[in-house]
């Protein structure tokens, strides 16, 4: 039996960015995208065939170009440079991420010290923290809390607000905020759970499927942070968990004797990738 997670695959933000990019490509023919539009090679290479050019820095484009900003969002400095160079920004930052940017900006202007819980090197975290300016700190692990508290004490900050990357692990967020609440008991501390609903429902479903099936297959791009988190959740529950990017990575020999197979896919995994895996499983395993 194959049990596919209902929340698998494109989230609203990614779906919107891919469909809008297709529209823009018809209109402009050649467009740049700052970073991979989604963390999925197949999707990106199909868009590249239609004229999308992935760049890593605005230095790589001439003035007046059309540049897409992907769902993760970018730093304040990117908007500033684009304005100065007359670059036409096609902003596909997910509305949920834009809302966080605006909230961070509002708290920063009201003098709050801003803590962002997230992966330090993730583009969304880098973008969001730029709106907080220098009075801020990123916490990725429980171990980072000590240094964060030191900064707060040294500077005598009393008003603190916490945000979290939209695709962060729910469990890790809970652990970190519980510890922060204990450490900062005498401060004005506001905790905003900005984990996206799409992420939390997917993580809940992944837990349920990992408990109910003989093995788990997680489908998603190697650079996709939310796919990696699904793998971490599933593998901590079910030792027969495998992560693949496409059907070509599937090792049938490892799952041949399994009676029930759970499938989850990350937010940037297209429906075709999931369908391709199911097709092979039906042909080779559940004959
Ligand atoms: S996971 Fe949520 S916040 Fe992130 S792009 Fe998708 S819908 Fe937007």
pLDDT at residue 287 tops 70: no
- Decide whether any atom of ligand 1 lies within 6 Å of the 85 Cβ: no
Q: Is the CB of residue 108 less than 8 Å from the CB of residue 85?
A: no
Closest Cα to atom 2 of ligand 1 = 196
- Decide whether any atom of ligand 1 lies within 6 Å of the 164 Cβ: no
Question: In the chain, what percentage of residues exceed pLDDT 90?
Answer: 88
- Decide whether any atom of ligand 1 lies within 6 Å of the 267 Cβ: yes
Distance CA 176, CA 171 (A): 9
Which pLDDT tens digit goes with each residue over 55-91?
999 999 999 999 999 999 999 999 999 999 999 999 9
Gyration radius of the chain's alpha carbons: 21
Fold of the 2-7+197-284 domain: Cobalt-precorrin-4 Transmethylase; domain 1 (3.40.1010)
Give the class (CATH, top level) of 12-95.
alpha beta
Pocket test for ligand 1, best of 17, 71, 195, 268 (most atoms within 8 A of CB): 71
Residue 43 token pair: 């999707």
> What are the residue boundaries of the structural domains of the chain, listed by start?
2-7+197-284, 12-95, 101-191
- Decide whether any atom of ligand 1 lies within 6 Å of the 94 Cβ: yes
Classify residue 272 by burial, with Cβ atoms within 10 Å: 0-12, 13-18, 19+: middle
Residue 227 token pair: 């796919």
Which pLDDT tens digit goes with each residue over 186-240?
999 999 999 999 888 999 999 999 999 999 999 998 888 889 999 999 999 999 9
Question: In the chain, what percentage of residues exceed pLDDT 70?
Answer: 100
Q: Specify the 3-state DSSP secondary structure of 86.
A: coil
- Residue 203: closest CA among 177, 176, 175, 231: 231
Q: Is the CB of residue 44 less than 8 Å from the CB of residue 68?
A: no
Question: Under CATH, which number does the domain 101-191 receive?
Answer: 3.40.1010.20
Q: Can you give the pTM of this predicted structure?
A: 0.86
Q: Is the CB of residue 128 less than 8 Å from the CB of residue 118?
A: yes
For 107-138, the DSSP string reads HHHTT-EEEEES-TT-HHHHHHHHTTTTSEEE
Q: Do domains 2-7+197-284 and 101-191 have the same CATH topology?
A: yes
pLDDT, residue 285, reads 80
Active centre residues (catalytic): 124
Residue 132 token pair: 């907080």
Q: What is the mean pLDDT of the chain?
A: 94
């Amino acid at each position: 039996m194959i049990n596919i997670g209902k929340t698998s695959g494109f989230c609203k933000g990614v779906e919107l960015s891919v469909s809008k990019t297709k529209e823009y490509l018809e209109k402009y023919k050649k467009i740049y995208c700052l970073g991979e539009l989604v963390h999925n090679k197949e999707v990106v290479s199909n868009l590249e065939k239609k004229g999308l050019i992935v760049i890593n820095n605005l230095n790589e484009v001439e003035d007046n170009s059309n540049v897409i900003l992907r769902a993760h969002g970018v730093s304040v400095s990117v908007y500033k440079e684009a304005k100065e160079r007359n670059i036409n920004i096609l902003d596909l930052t997910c509305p949920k991420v834009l809302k966080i940017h605006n909230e961070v900006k509002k708290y920063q202007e009201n003098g709050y010290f801003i803590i962002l819980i997230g992966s330090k090197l993730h583009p969304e975290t880098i973008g969001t923290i730029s709106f907080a300016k220098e009075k801020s700190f990123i916490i990725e692990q429980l171990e980072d809390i000590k240094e964060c508290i030191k900064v707060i004490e040294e500077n005598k900050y009393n008003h603190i607000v916490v945000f979290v990357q939209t695709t962060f692990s729910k469990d890790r967020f809970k652990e970190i905020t519980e510890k922060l609440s204990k450490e900062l008991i005498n401060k004005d501390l506001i905790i905003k759970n900005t984990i996206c609903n799409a992420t939390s429902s997917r993580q809940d479903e992944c837990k349920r499927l990992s408990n109910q099936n003989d093995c788990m297959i997680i489908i998603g791009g190697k650079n996709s942070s939310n796919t990696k988190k699904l793998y971490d959740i599933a593998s901590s529950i079910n030792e027969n968990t495998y992560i693949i990017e496409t059907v070509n990575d599937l090792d049938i020999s490892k799952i041949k004797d399994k009676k029930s197979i759970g499938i989850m896919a990350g937010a940037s995994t297209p429906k075709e990738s999931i369908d391709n895996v199911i097709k092979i499983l039906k042909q080779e395993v559940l004959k």
